[in-house]
Chains A and B, each alone.
Chain A
Amino acid sequence: MARKKRFRLAAYTKSFRLRLYLIFTVTIALLTGAFTFFYVITEINAYKSTLEREGRLLATILAQNARLPLFAENREALSVLAQGTARYPSVHSVVISNIEGRVVAEARRGKEQPDNVIGMEVAITSPGPVLSPESVLLGHLPDDKERVIGKVLLRLDTSGARERIVTLVTAALAIGTLFWILVSLLSYQVLKRVTASFNMLMGGIEEIGSGKLSSRVDLDGDDELGRAANAINAMAASLELRELENQALQDELLKAMKLEVQEEKKRVMARLIQTNKMTSLGLLLSSMAHEINNPNASIRFSGHMIGKMWVDAVPLLDGVWQEEGEFYLGGVPFQTARLALAENAAKIVENSERIARVVQGLRDYGVGGGTHLRQKLEINNAVSAALSVLACQMKRDVQLKTSLGTDIPVVNGSQQQIEQVLINLILNAMQACAGGRGEVTLTTRYDKGVSEVVVEVQDDGAGISAETMERLFEPFFSTKLERGGSGLGLYISQYIVAEHGGRLQLASTPGKGTLARVVLPAGVASVGNMVPAEDVQHPADPLHEVR
């Protein structure tokens, strides 16, 4: 409560009206005080001046009247004159003395107080213009000389002046205070009326400033405040319009965001599903690898054993053939079986090893290897490994042509990840072939100018539309979701390539095919690790020719 009161008091003390009122009242008080002061001073001086003038006048009149009695040394007449003058309230005493200074008449009234008395002395003179009879008869003209024959000394009582000053000061203070109060009240009323418009304007501004843009300053008039109110109202209207527009835009944005979120939600769900599928696939691949590896190891061992035993058995069977002549093994003449059995045993081992590599590749793909960006990989090996993995996916109607460059430096990175990228790109190229027929060309080369290793996968398939091209690298975006596409291939591929410091570029012409290009920076120690030229038929791809 006290805090609220303090706040109100602080706001009141800072109000324009109060400050103006204080200025007015203080100014009026100062002016009134100054006026009162000067009035009192002037009145006191005027009173003193009047007193002195009155005293001088009385003394002069007395001097005039006393002229003849003093000349005639008529003390009685002078005493009467002195007493008559002493009857005046302001006269304390009257002394008439002759030219020798001897007092010839005196009158006093009451006891004299030295502090309240001022003296007034006037000379008594005989008339100057009057001449002696002889001079007059001789025609002398009167002169202006006056002859002093005595003096009149009046002592004036100024005790009335003090009382008058007190009365005057009291009256002036009372009138001044009354005047100040009246003018202050009047000025307050005037200021109240004058600042009412100002306060209304301020209230409107504060209300608008607080965010209530629909409020208006209700102030009429064509003066400065009226014009200011109109300007503020116009500004508030403009702000309100902008606010409405912003609100509308915000609503639209909110709606769009909601739609976007819903679609995103759908996409995320699809991704989650796909991821779940991929996880399951990985598990399946691991399981498959385990189940295949065991019998495959047995087969490879058996192959080895068959080969070794055949090598031991051949000299014995050669001796039998030499001794006994031709005989048949399994319906096949010994000489034919002799070569075929050795060859088949070798094929058993070779194909078993191939099965082991394929299974290992599938297992690595499914489980996912660690990041081996510090490893040095040879791009052509990665291509071969990818083709090994894809050997079973190869379609007879799709021709895969490889053109592996020579003197390609090693690349720093994970071979398994680069293989994954290449598998994605080759699969996309093969799937793009319309009707399952087409040609996929895989090229590797080294761009010495920029020290980059380039792998290109070119197909002559359906190509990619412009709309699809814009979204190709979005995660889980796929045109083949219904055919098992995850929508992660290009997204992951681009991520992997970017992780290797390279870039994945796609260029496509609808109806003519697509070119996918992987550009990787060559490794630092690539000079010593140049891969020799290799342009051979990939063992995993017996169907495709090597150019």
Chain B
Amino acid sequence: MQVLRLLVMLAVVFLPPVTALAYDVLVLQSLHEKGYNEAINGFKREFHGSLRNIILSDYAEADVTRLTREEHPRLIVAVGDRALELAQKQSNTPVLYMMALNPRPRRMTTGVGMLLDPSRYVSVFDNLKAARVGVVYDPAKSGQYVRRALSHAGRYNIELVMREVRAAKETPAMLESLQGKVDAIWMLPDPTAVSPASTEAYFLFSQRERVPVVTFADVYLSMGGAVALTIDRFDIGRQLGEMAQSILNGTPVEEIPPASPRRVVTKSNEGVVRQLRQNGGAGR
């Protein structure tokens, strides 16, 4: 296996410049992933130019700078955090990203994040009539997103009761500290605040305090979540395809700001919602 990888790496490194291979978009995919494929399929649906797809996990190391220098793609589409990180190592070709949970866009970089716009959640809380919403988050990972959420919440007169965690094991205690202080819990896609071991703490809290948990994936509905706002990966691809098309049509990258997913799929666990309503939890 090591020998095979070495051969592939040598092949990539000493890839001869072939002009006939010139294309519009170089798609760097972090790894073989179903979610990535869905997004790329959405991208291809909107983008009709030529493209080359490289899955980085197939190579030990990919020299994106050399690729762009020799193949001259007009645009790089990074799928996933690792691909975005590699793509941003070169500075000549504009980079569009998608399916990156923690993007740190630099110059000539824009894209579609994985986090829904906080206003979507705030409107849900507003619909649930939750005046106080507990939020557990890691400032290093979700600080910016929470700040955006605060501004939106203020518009709806919703108070976000914030609890910062810097390690996953702190989450249960932070949740316990919210006891009697919130009308709903907002489960952020924060890897520190939401770990496999601490996930059920949210739903135990929800059950004990009779407050709904609004989460970011429908998989949590079966564990006790009340409402889930989920992203549409195919539509993210389409959304990024439109951006790429626009850039290739001459729109400067700098004029296109990073965007949140435009399409939201809202699902709810009717059983949980009904029980919370009966117990006077939701819709306070």
| A residues whose Cβ falls under 8 Å from a Cβ of B | 67-69, 71-74, 126-127, 129-134, 136-142, 147, 149
Contacts and interface: CB of A to CB of B under 8 A. Distances in A.
A131 B197 CA distance: 9
A93 B114 CA distance: 49
Given A72-B171, A130-B196, A137 B219 contact: no
Nearest to A139: B35
Interface stretch (B42-50, B124-132, B153-161, B187-195): B187-195
Interface in B138-196: 168-173, 188-191, 194-196
List the 10 closest A-B pairs by CB distance, nearest first.
A138-B35, A133-B189, A126-B197, A136-B217, A72-B172, A139-B35, A130-B199, A71-B197, A130-B196, A68-B172
B15 interface: no
A134 B38 CA distance: 15
Contact of A67 (B99, B200, B220): B200
Contacts of A129: 219, 223
B189 A136 contact: yes
Interface bin, chain B: 20 to 34
Given A133-B189, A134-B101, A136-B217, A68 B114 contact: no
A125 to B, nearest CB: 9
B21 interface: no
Contact of A137 (B170, B197, B231): B231
A68 B189 contact: no
A140 B217 CA distance: 11
B60 to A, nearest CB: 23
B34 interface: yes
Nearest to B220: A136
B33 interface: yes
11 contacts: A74-B173, A127-B200, A130-B196, A130-B197, A133-B188, A137-B101, A137-B217, A138-B35, A142-B219, A147-B197, A149-B197
Given A74-B172, A130-B223, A139-B38, A147 B196 contact: yes
A488 B117 CA distance: 169
A138 B219 CA distance: 12
A130 B172 CA distance: 15
A67 to B, nearest CB: 7
Contact of B35 (A67, A69, A71, A137): A137
A133 B198 contact: no
B239 to A, nearest CB: 15
A72 B35 contact: no
B83 to A, nearest CB: 13
A131 B38 CA distance: 20
A147 B198 CA distance: 13
A133 B190 contact: yes
A312 B171 CA distance: 204
Given A137-B35, A137-B114, A138-B34, A130 B170 contact: no
Contacts of A74: 172-173
Contact of B195 (A132, A137, A140): A132
A533 to B, nearest CB: 162
Contact of B33 (A131, A138, A142): A138
A226 to B, nearest CB: 79
Given A72-B171, A72-B173, A139-B34, A127 B189 contact: no
Contacts of A131: 196, 219
Given A68-B200, A138-B33, A142-B219, A133 B194 contact: yes
B181 to A, nearest CB: 19
A68 B195 contact: no
Contacts of A127: 196-197, 199-200
B238 interface: no
A72 B171 CA distance: 7
B200 A137 contact: no
B160 to A, nearest CB: 19
A68 B196 CA distance: 11
B204 interface: yes
A132 B38 CA distance: 19
B169 A132 contact: no
Given A133-B194, A133-B216, A138 B172 contact: no
Contacts of A72: 169-173, 198, 201
B40 to A, nearest CB: 13
B216 A136 contact: yes
Given A130-B196, A130-B223, 4 more contacts: A72-B173, A74-B172, A133-B217, A139-B38
Contacts of A138: 33-36, 99
A138 B79 CA distance: 11
A203 to B, nearest CB: 86
Nearest to A65: B204
A73 B172 CA distance: 10
Given A71-B169, A137-B101, A137-B217, A132 B196 contact: yes
B233 interface: yes
B101 A133 contact: yes
Contacts of A141: 219
A137 B200 CA distance: 18
Interface string B19-47: 00000000000000111101000000000
Contacts of A142: 219
Contacts of B35: 137-140
Contacts of A137: 35, 99, 101, 114, 189, 216-217, 231
A61 B111 CA distance: 47
A413 to B, nearest CB: 147
B198 A71 contact: yes
